Structures are given as structure tokens and as C-alpha cells.
Structure 1
Amino acid sequence: MVWMDTFSLPMSPLLLSIVLIIVMYTITTQYCGQIKVKQVQFTDNQSVIIDEKTGLRASVRKLYIIDDVQLNSPFDIFKTGLRKSKDKCCFGMRQSFSSPIKWITYEEVYEKIQQFGSALTTLMKEISMNNFIGIYGKNSPKWVIAQLAGAAYSFVTVPLYSTFGDEAIVHVINETGLKIIVCDTISQACHLNKINSHKLKVFIIMKPDNTFESFKKECSDKVRLFTFEEMLEKGCTNWLPEKVPDGDDLCMILYTSGSLGLPKGVMITNKAYLNAAKLTISLAEENHFSTEDLSHVSFLPLSHTMEQLTMMLAMFSGGRIGFLTDGIESLFDDFRDFKPTFFCSVPRLLVRLYMNFSKKVHSKPIIRKVCQYEINKRMEEQKRGIYRRNGIIDFLFFREFRELLGGRVRAIISGSSPIDRDVLCFIRAVLSCPVSEVYGSTETLGLVCSTMFEDVDAYHVGAISPGVQIKLIDVPEMGIFVSKDQMGEICIRSKSNMLGYYKNQEKTEEVLDSEGFVHTGDVGVWLKNGALKIVDRTKNLFKLSQGEYVAPEKVEQTYLFCNLIQYVYVEGHSLKPYAVAVVKPNFRRLRKEAVDIISKLAKTISSPIEKKCENMKDGELLEEITDAELCTSKEIREFILERMNSIAREKGLKGFELTWTEEMLLTV
């Protein structure tokens, strides 16, 4: 029979390849993947105008009220998790990567909160101090226990950024009248004691070492010193009942880490903190984000509002919270072992994942195109609420990136700055989970806006949160008028807004107006679907001579995708038609890619660099020419700029946003 003869012939290589691909696809789809369908929300109506005269807008989103829980302070959020997960893991940490993770249960944490809070209350009576407690150190179970103990016993927590300089730290301690500080190490306590002229009365050390006793003797007359464990023992023998705070009482004073002047203390009441926490929990409910078996790795500073609220969501759900073993450099090792189900991030970390992927497929155009096709396909599916982890492309290329984050991430929250479109699409597709960009500030405490899970568009911060009102106002000193430019300064009113700046009425009146609006200093614009887009800071934005506005942060972030650049600063002037840039090159990469240019310099001797190159071979040139000398070469400058602007055009920057060769400065 003819058909039998045909099938008895040897299979061609092409046909064999096709069969193998089909078989592998079937296997990986069946056994290596999963499909999840989430309820889809409409994304074409993300805010509503409630006052035509002022352009005031409000949310169209529903607030999921937590009716069955009485909340008076952050401690009550923890107690909600306690009821759900009494004998289950709460906080986890380890001494090193070679040691096992040590978990403590919700019940054990509750006991430590009571002990620490009782000891604090006793100390307050003994040294006649105010009810402020400072916390200075890396995220850890003890950090959170100290904060929750403060909330349970009506103390005001004052977190200190680890990036604060001495002047800022002294300012915070003096302004708040801090007498007690919980800090990581003895060396930190020694330094704080020295720069504050022995004004502090009590140090509580979370990680004591063999210098503890000698420092204790040295300070015995002026400062009392306790280990964290000694405080727990003190509270155990002097147990006191919890002291429920009032909603209008101060909960925290969060000092801003702004670059201009001394930090300002943002006063947050219990009522404002709880409203922000409820919003966070509500938005998780709205997006049908499963909090079952929730796991979180805390790595953003706890002195940051975003990490505070993420922590509260995790505890409210009765979830597990892991803390870094070492530093941010080994973050992925902790992710691998803690296996978080969601995490709060900044764009820099997501870009790192994207760049790792790009390096792998850069030299393989066919694979790159296949992966991009799959990413585009998944973006269309996610608009319909479909999130899948199957298929041969997923199995071969995407799975390893999910494993970097532990393999269980179900949602990602990103804040602090916009995410590039390519990065956003990559993360959503490869991790097969929603990514929500959020907008807020210390002064507004929490999620003012956030992108809906089904909204896959980039470069905006999404819909207004329930209970929040936003308007745009003119910035006349910048020549920005809402009626003409369709953009303006973002002003926010909500129950989560700050009470004001601590002991700084002048600065308070500059930011918080009589109607309760916080003037953010950010310039925004409303998109057609009612979503808010952040243009830039009012202080950063500049206008060119033709009238176009340039947002330097956006341009800088785009240029940083160029692998020849390490740092870039963009500036402009209203009398010039173009922007300029100061660039610090990635000299290691530049030397690899600029060999031909340096060789050409040797042939036309008219500058110090070129004279130096006269009798050298290419390999010797790279060693002899200094970084500073490379920066003076016009050819090198043009080489870098051409690469920068090529990427900028790919990313959609407009012509007036690009920098000019003659004006670009390279620096070491």
C-alpha cells in the first residue's frame, strides 16, 4: 500500500523536529503549568469628576469594609492575624545561609509584645520620659515587635532611616525629645551616644556582642543599657495590661528622607494609619488577591510607608513574614527559601530581573522573537484575567525567573517611580501574575492611586483609591496652567493624610491647606480613562524654548537602559531648545566596545589621548588610557550618545527629550 510505504520511510530532520516540539509542548502544558482565571474589572472608567469647577475627582472603586474587626491601632491588625493563625508561623529569620530559618508563632509574638510593652511602660515611669520610642536598625522580628509593643501600650514610634547622616539623626532626637532608642548593635549605640552628647537615657540592643558589658560599665552613670532579651525578662516579671490608644492619638512620626534640608517629621494618627491599612486590605480584596497561605519577605525599610502597609496586610491575613539573612545583595537567596506569595518592590529590582533575561537572549534573535511573541500573547490574555504558567516557552525560558523569586509569587506591588513598559510586560508575562503600580507619599500615608490588575498599560498610576479625592492646580511659577496644559500639581485629600509636620507649623502650612489637601509637589495629568499619570516633580520639570516640558526623571530612567551608562543627570533651560546630560559611563563595558574607536584615535594625533596612542597596540591602549582621558574624546562622546539615543527612540522618547552631542559631558 502506498500510504504504508510512505510512513515506513525515514523521517526527515524537519519533520522530526516538528514532532518533537509538539510532544514537548504537550508534556509541558500537561505537567509543568497551570492556568488561573481572575475576575476582570473594566478599566475604562477609573475616576469620576465630583466638582466641575475645581476638577475634583474621586474613586469609582468599592471599599471592602472590615465590619467584624474592631481596630484601634496597628496592634489590633496583628491581633486579627493572631485569631486566624494562633499557632502558625509569624516571623522568620536565620543567622546565616547555612543555618535553618527560625520561625516564631503568632502566639509567641503576642507574648513578646506584651512583655516588651510592659517593660517600656515601667521604664517610662522610672526615667520620667515622654511616650516616644525610636527604632534604628534593619528590618527584623524584634523591630516589628518593638513597634507593635509601642502601639499596644500607647507609645509613639519614631523610625530612623539607616541612610540618615549624623546631622539628621541629631535633629530627629532633639526635636522629638527621644530618650529610648532600640538599635541593632553596640557600635550604633556608641555612635548615637557620642553625637547626641549623652542626652539619650536608654539603649535597647537587638544584636548584642562581646562589647556589651564593657559599654554598659562605661555608660553606667549616664545611660541605661539593655539587651532585647533583658527587656522581655523585665516585662515578664512586671507584666502590665495593654493601654488602648485613642484614634486621634499619634501612632508614628515618620521622618522624610528628603534631599533638601533637615528631615521633617510627618505626624500619623492611629485613625490615619488604620484607614491606610484598610485601604491596602480592601484593594487586595477588590482584586480578588488570595491571602490564603500568604508569605512575604520584608526588605524595603520599615521606616517607609509602603513596607509598613505591606506588613499590615500580611499580618491581618495571618501570613508568614520572612526577614533578610544578610543584605539586599543576597535577596534572591532569601526569596528562594522563604518562597513569598507576594512582594512589595521598587522598579530597580524588577529592572534587574529584566536585564538578566535580556542578556540571555540578546545574542539569540530567534529565541528573543519567540519569547517576545509569548510575552505579547500573555499580555492580551491578562486583559481577560487569564494568568497561565504552561507551554514550552514557559518551561524552557520563563520558569527559572519565577524560581528566582521562590516560584510562588501571585502579585507584585511596585512604587517610588514608574516602571518601563518593556520591564512591566516582561514581569507580568514571565511571573504570570498581576503587577500593580502604586502612588502615594509619606504625607498621604498609603495608596492614593494604584493600577488595576487587569490594566496592562504602563506609565500611569491607575485609579484613585476609595475615600481619596484628587485635584490638579496651577503652578504659575512654572508657567503651568491646568486649563491650558491639561496638567497641574497633584493635591490629595483623604482620611489617611498626615496631621502635619511635628513642631514645624511653617512647613505644614506650605504643604497642607485649610481644606485638608496635601500639595504633593508632583505634576500629574488625567488620562482619557480617568487614570492618573505622574509627569514629574514640580521642582524637576523644565520648559524648553519652544514651550515643551521635559520630565528629566523619565529621560534619565530611559537612558539607564543603555549598558554604556552607569549614572546620568539631565537638565535644561527655558532659553535653549534642547536638553543636556551629564553622564558617568560604565567604563568596563565602554573599554570592551570602544577598541576600534581608540585604535582610530592613534592614527590622527592631535590631542593628548591620541599622542599617547601613537606607538601602542590595541590591547595596550585599553590599559594606558585613563577614564578621565576617555571622557575628553569627542569620538567616545558621540559613540555613547548614539547608543543612548538609539535606545531612547526605541523607548518612545520624543525628539526634544534627546540630548545633544556638543553639550553632553562625560565624567568619572
Structure 2
Amino acid sequence: MSTAQSVIDTDTIAGRPASVAHMFLSRVEATPGQLAYRYPAPVDERAANATTGAEQWLSLTWSQAADRVFAIAAGLVDLGVEPEERIGLAASTRIEWILADLGVMCAGAAVTTVYPSTNADETGFILADAGCRVLLAEDGKQLGKAVAERGGLPELATVVVFDPPAELPEVEGLTIITLAELERRGAALLEREPEAVRRRVEAIGRDQLATVVYTSGTTGRPKGVRLSHDAWSYQGVAQEESGLLRPEDIHYMWLPLSHVFGKSLIAGQVRTGQVMAVDGRVDKIITNLPLIKPTIMASAPRVFEKVYNGIAGRARAEGGAKYKIFMWAAKVARQWAQVTQENRIATGRDTAPLGLKLQHALADKLVYAKIRQAFGGQMRGAVSGSAALAPEIAYFFAGVGVPVLEGYGLTETSAGIIVNRVEDFRVGTVGVPFKGSEVRIAEDGEILLRGPGVMSGYHNQPEQTAEVLESDGWFHSGDIGELTQAGYLRITDRKKDMFKTSGGKYVAPSEVEGKFKAVCPFVSNILVIGNGRNFCSALITLDEPVIMPWAAEHGVTGKTYAEVVTSPQVRALIEDYVTKLNGELQRWQTIKKFTLLPRDLDIEHGELTPSLKIKRPVVERVYAAEVSEMYAGANEA
């Protein structure tokens, strides 16, 4: 395969601040009184106001945010934290996470993020491997994990708790304080030494360690990715330069901030000065959207799939004319998006034939406007990353007027390094590189990446670093893809996920899985299997809020989800969709057998990463009996 690469913009590299901490100071000085953050009131205040039925939201200006960030930074300095020392941060997405993260960076230390859903054993591994001296813990549950693993954490000296239990435990050799106490200690230090934090920020070097972020660990123990202050500064500048984030935006942040995707957007927000509404409660997304009225929101593809399935499911439940109208409008949305994209590529203009224009205008009045209002009515676009979004779903949202801009990056590239732009996005691609970054396709189809956002290496793992990072800076992503003539990147599959059937044919499972999600509105997760087998099979889970109403309408009542998915009616329903899928595939890709699982895959059972990627080895191990049964009696070559 031929190789290609983008042109690097050296001016972009030379002109940015040394760190997000420098960027934060500049932002506070430029717009001290401007609104920076909105966030729901703390849990105790929410409980106190529960009788009103309305949730109270609070706000911080940049100056007010700086007071807390500097106090946290100074508090860490008072604890004796030195530059580049690792500070663990285990909390859900909330305002304190952002303030703490900025505080650690302003102290010159290095954040080590830990998902709050991570179990005690893996939390202990991450904190020990990173050598964390301090842990910033959300609550008693996160504190308990550190206490449980205390024997394996010799370097951990202090835990700072955001929402402390009624009584803080006493643990030998471990100081446990509240975030409020840390901020009080920091404020006292700043009274004595007003320039203490600014001196720390001014001393930060571009190549100094800023974070150790651990990979999702889909195939084993996670690896600590070392990212410099320059990588995060680059993210902020690149997001602004590309137009991905804009100063006038209202950004709804609910993504897990322990993941690089969410964390990178903090850098962009500091750079642009936009307003960020912060609330990590996933069950509040639908409620929050019309309240926040965001102009931009980032998400994983699974959320857009669930939104689409939910809309289609409600329309189906209403039946009759309403369902027919929705199906017609969905078809028009896809046609409109495809035609206008093709014309934009060919002529530079979003044009469509008159007949399609009239249909789209009518569908907008009947259907699309309501969908946009459900998103808050101001959404100029949404950003999707961490996995592929089915093109049919992307075309649908583009036609509705809420374009989903797919991007691409990894933990090792400090999140997005390639992204679609709202003014010229291409469904089916992940866009073009940020200025200052390069992409190249290797002879075997692997995507290679280079730029300021690329890691310096894996923490304590020089051999594994050498396997993926070349001496001239090219990073081997492990993904397979191709570049279009215009320089847009298409992702084909994970190199390690591709398999060969016993007949010698290669199958990219994510391609098949994505196609099934596009044709079946009931699917939640699907895992295609077939390595070394003479045919492909699939493990499938269904979206419970969508399949249960359908089941009730078709005579399957009074049953649990596990009973519903084993019913003949649901089996026949999904079999029809599998047949439809197979009509779009090459013979060797087709799904010959499938099993509907009795529950959805989840993080708690270790089958999904916190960023909702399937842990294939885990799922295949858990459901080994079901897989064996699908191949029982098959003539395995």
C-alpha cells in the first residue's frame, strides 16, 4: 500500500504556551469576570432543595475558579509535593475534578487519573505503578480502595477526600484530609507566599511530565502513558485553531474525565475561554440538555446509537401515521446528508435537488426541529470518539441538523489528533490531522501518527515503548486505515482484532459490527467471532429500554429481559436483521449463527472498559460455552 502524510505546521508548534498551567494563568488575566463553569449544587444542597423539584446550578467565573485552583496547588506544595511527582485523581466528572486537575498542573506535579469504577485491585496497581504520593479521592468508596490496597502502596502518604464520610478513618502511615482542608492550607500558604503558585507555573518546562494516564486495558493490565505539558498545551491550541471549540461555545461536559478524550477538552476550554457545564451523571443527560442548551458536546458513539434507538423506539410505540412519518423523515435525513456531502466534496457547496429540499424542509417541521430541541436547540455539532460510529446513524444526525463530528486519537496521542471540521465533515471518516500533526499509512495498512501530542513512552516499560514508538517520533497505533485523496482518514479496524477464518479470509469484526448497529435498532452490543473457524458467529445484546416495549406489543408480557431475549418472537426479529446484514457482506463475513445474551455487557462485570469499549477476550471467556455451542458439530478446518 502506498504511503501518504499531511504537512506539518511548524508555526503552530513554536507559538503555543509551555503548559495548560501557563494557559490558565493567561486566561484568568484576560477574562477574570467571565463565566467559566456551571455545575449542579453539591449533593447535600440538592437534598435540601429536593422539595422544590428543581435542581440548583451554581457558577464560577475564571477569577473564582483561579482562587480554588491556586489554593489546591498551594495546598499540594504545602504537603511537600515536588514537580513531576504523581498525584492520583479518582473521581467522577464534576467541578472538583477539573479544579483539582488544574491545581495539580499548576503545582508542577503530574496527574494520574483513575476511573471511579475501577476495582480496588486495579486502582492499587495504577497508584503503585505510577508511584503516587497523594491521592485525590471523590468519596469514602474511593478512599476505601486506597486503604484496602495500603500494603502495596508504600509511596502513598496522603489522601484528600472531596466528599468525606461522616468520620475519616485513621490509617497508620497515611494522612487523610478533606479537600476543604487542603484548600485552607493552600490559602494560608498563599498569604505567606503570594507568588508560590506562580513560581511553580513559571518553572514548568515544555517536556516536563504532566500526566500518567492508564490505557483502558482491553487485553490485560493497563499501561501508563507518559504525556508532557506540551502535549496538553498542543491539544488546547489545536482544538481552538481547528474550530472544534470556540470562545462563544457552551460546552456540556459529562464524559469521564479520567479518559484522555474528556481531559483534553479541558485544555481546549481553558484556551478558548468558553463556558463549560459540568455534570457526569449519565442518567441526567436527557434532562440537562434543554436546561444547559449546549452548542457543543462530546460523546462516545454508544450514546448517539442509544439516542437514535430511543427516538425510533418511541416512534414505533406510537405506531400508525407517526411511525411512518418518522421512518420517512429518517430516510430523507440520510439522503439529504449524503447528497449534500457529495456535492460539497465535488463543488464546495451544500446543495441538493429541489424535490429533496422540499422533503427535507417538511421533515424538519414535522420531526427534526423536535429532535434539535431535545438537544437544547442550540447544538452546532457533537464530537464523537473512542470507537466508530455507524455511517447510517451519522448521516441521520447530520440530516437532522446535529452533525456528529468523528475524530480519532488514542491515550498515547493525548486524545484527538485527527478530527472532522463542522464546515467540511465527511461521514465515514475521522477527518484530517490537527495542524502540527502527521498521519501515514504503513505498508501493512497500519496507521502511524506523529506530532506534539504523542506520548514520550509507557511508564516503566521501555521495551513496550520501543515496540510502538520509533526513534523519529512515529507512533504505531495498532489500527488499520486508509487516507482519501483529500487527506481524510478512514479507520478499517484494530490490527489486533482482525482475524483470519479457517478458509484463509481476513475479517475486520468492527466493520461487521458497525453495519449491524446501522440496520438493527434494537442492538446494544455485538461481538463478531470467527478466528480460525470456518464461519463467523456473533454474541448479541439488546437495548432493554427499546426491546421491552416491542416485546410487550408482540405478546411477550410479564417476562424479564433475560426471558424476553430467549423468546421465539425476539429470536425471529433479530434473525431478520441478521439476514439483512448478511445481504450487505462478503460471503466469508456473513454471520451464520448468533446468540442473544441474557444481559447487556457492562463495566461492573469487566466486559467493557470505562470508555465503553468491549474487552473481547473477557467476553469470549465469560461466554465460552455459548460460543462452543454455536460451533458444535461444525466442521472446523
Q: Give the TM-score category using the shorter length.
A: 0.7 to 0.9
- Alpha-carbon separation, structure 2, partners of 1:86 and 1:233: 22
1:94 partner amino acid? P
How many aligned residue pairs are there? 561
User: Measured at CA, do residues 367 and 540 of structure 1 come closer, stay the same or move farther in structure 2, by a change above 3 Å?
Assistant: closer
- Alpha-carbon separation, structure 2, partners of 1:587 and 1:139: 26
- Alpha-carbon separation, structure 2, partners of 1:99 and 1:624: 35
1:458 partner amino acid? V
Equivalent residue number for residue 206 of structure 1: 162
Q: Deviation at 1:536?
A: 1.0
Q: Deviation at 1:116?
A: 1.4
Pairing 1:323–2:278 present: yes
Listed one character per residue, the Cα deviations across residues 345-385 of structure 1 (whole Å, up to 9, x for unaligned) are 11111122222332354543355325533553355456356
Equivalent residue number for residue 466 of structure 1: 435
Equivalent residue number for residue 4 of structure 2: 57
User: Measured at CA, do residues 379 and 526 of structure 1 come closer, stay the same or move farther in structure 2, by a change above 3 Å?
Assistant: closer
Equivalent residue number for residue 271 of structure 1: 230
* DSSP-derived class of the 2:242 partner: helix
Listed one character per residue, the Cα deviations across residues 522-543 of structure 1 (whole Å, up to 9, x for unaligned) are 1112334432221111221123
2:466 partner amino acid? E
- Counterpart of 1:490 (choices 443, 447, 451) is 447
- Counterpart of 1:657 (choices 560, 568, 589) is 589
User: CA contact under 8 A between 1:58 and 1:468: conserved in structure 2?
Assistant: no
Matches within 5 A, 1:174-573: 174-197=128-151, 199=154, 200-212=156-168, 215=169, 218-219=170-171, 221-239=172-190, 240=193, 241=196, 242=198, 243=200, 244=202, 245-284=204-243, 291-324=246-279, 327-362=281-316, 363=319, 364-366=323-325, 368-370=327-329, 372-373=331-332, 376-377=335-336, 380-381=339-340, 383=344, 391-430=361-400, 432-455=401-424, 457-474=426-443, 482=444, 488-544=445-501, 547-560=504-517, 561-563=519-521, 565-573=523-531
Relative to structure 2, which stretch is displaced further, 83-92 or 539-548? Answer: 539-548
* DSSP-derived class of the 1:490 partner: strand
1:206 partner amino acid? F
Q: Deviation at 1:555?
A: 1.7
- Alpha-carbon separation, structure 2, partners of 1:111 and 1:519: 41
Equivalent residue number for residue 92 of structure 1: 38
- Alpha-carbon separation, structure 2, partners of 1:533 and 1:492: 14
User: CA contact under 8 A between 1:294 and 1:314: conserved in structure 2?
Assistant: no
User: Measured at CA, do residues 317 and 528 of structure 1 come closer, stay the same or move farther in structure 2, by a change above 3 Å?
Assistant: closer
- Alpha-carbon separation, structure 2, partners of 1:180 and 1:144: 17
What RMSD over aligned residues (CA atoms) do the two structures have, in Å? 3.4
Equivalent residue number for residue 37 of structure 1: none
1:298 partner amino acid? M
User: CA contact under 8 A between 1:489 and 1:520: conserved in structure 2?
Assistant: yes
1:427 partner amino acid? F
Relative to structure 2, which stretch is displaced further, 371-380 or 186-195? Answer: 371-380
User: CA contact under 8 A between 2:256 and 2:262: conserved in structure 1?
Assistant: yes
Q: Deviation at 1:61?
A: 8.2
- Alpha-carbon separation, structure 2, partners of 1:155 and 1:625: 50
Equivalent residue number for residue 22 of structure 1: none
2:214 partner amino acid? Y
User: CA contact under 8 A between 1:84 and 1:318: conserved in structure 2?
Assistant: no
* DSSP-derived class of the 2:218 partner: coil
2:462 partner amino acid? Q
User: Measured at CA, do residues 320 and 543 of structure 1 come closer, stay the same or move farther in structure 2, by a change above 3 Å?
Assistant: same
* DSSP-derived class of the 2:64 partner: helix
* DSSP-derived class of the 1:422 partner: helix
* DSSP-derived class of the 1:641 partner: helix
User: Measured at CA, do residues 123 and 553 of structure 1 come closer, stay the same or move farther in structure 2, by a change above 3 Å?
Assistant: same
- Counterpart of 1:145 (choices 85, 99, 105) is 99
Higher-Rg member (1/2)? 1
Equivalent residue number for residue 603 of structure 2: none
Listed one character per residue, the Cα deviations across residues 110-165 of structure 1 (whole Å, up to 9, x for unaligned) are 1222211111111116xx99722111101222211111122222111111122322
User: Measured at CA, do residues 591 and 211 of structure 1 come closer, stay the same or move farther in structure 2, by a change above 3 Å?
Assistant: closer
2:205 partner amino acid? D
- Alpha-carbon separation, structure 2, partners of 1:166 and 1:73: 32
- Alpha-carbon separation, structure 1, partners of 2:324 and 2:434: 42
User: CA contact under 8 A between 1:294 and 1:319: conserved in structure 2?
Assistant: yes
Percent of aligned pairs sharing the same letter: 21
User: Measured at CA, do residues 61 and 337 of structure 1 come closer, stay the same or move farther in structure 2, by a change above 3 Å?
Assistant: farther
Q: Deviation at 1:473?
A: 3.1
Equivalent residue number for residue 72 of structure 1: 18
User: Measured at CA, do residues 531 and 211 of structure 1 come closer, stay the same or move farther in structure 2, by a change above 3 Å?
Assistant: same
User: CA contact under 8 A between 1:343 and 1:411: conserved in structure 2?
Assistant: yes
Equivalent residue number for residue 43 of structure 1: none
- Alpha-carbon separation, structure 2, partners of 1:236 and 1:211: 24
User: Measured at CA, do residues 648 and 77 of structure 1 come closer, stay the same or move farther in structure 2, by a change above 3 Å?
Assistant: farther
Equivalent residue number for residue 86 of structure 2: 132
* DSSP-derived class of the 2:239 partner: helix
User: CA contact under 8 A between 2:120 and 2:148: conserved in structure 1?
Assistant: no
User: CA contact under 8 A between 1:84 and 1:317: conserved in structure 2?
Assistant: no
Q: Deviation at 1:254?
A: 0.7
1:310 partner amino acid? L
User: Measured at CA, do residues 589 and 381 of structure 1 come closer, stay the same or move farther in structure 2, by a change above 3 Å?
Assistant: closer
* DSSP-derived class of the 1:306 partner: helix
User: CA contact under 8 A between 1:267 and 1:498: conserved in structure 2?
Assistant: yes
- Alpha-carbon separation, structure 2, partners of 1:639 and 1:98: 41
User: CA contact under 8 A between 1:552 and 1:570: conserved in structure 2?
Assistant: yes
1:426 partner amino acid? F
User: CA contact under 8 A between 2:251 and 2:295: conserved in structure 1?
Assistant: yes
* DSSP-derived class of the 1:57 partner: coil
- Alpha-carbon separation, structure 2, partners of 1:625 and 1:320: 43
* DSSP-derived class of the 2:412 partner: coil
User: CA contact under 8 A between 2:136 and 2:161: conserved in structure 1?
Assistant: yes
Q: Deviation at 1:329?
A: 1.3
- Alpha-carbon separation, structure 2, partners of 1:361 and 1:632: 23
Equivalent residue number for residue 9 of structure 1: none
- Counterpart of 2:27 (choices 81, 84, 101) is 81
1:59 partner amino acid? S
- Alpha-carbon separation, structure 2, partners of 1:337 and 1:624: 36
User: Measured at CA, do residues 159 and 328 of structure 1 come closer, stay the same or move farther in structure 2, by a change above 3 Å?
Assistant: same
User: Measured at CA, do residues 168 and 113 of structure 1 come closer, stay the same or move farther in structure 2, by a change above 3 Å?
Assistant: same
Q: Deviation at 1:456?
A: 5.1
Equivalent residue number for residue 642 of structure 1: 576
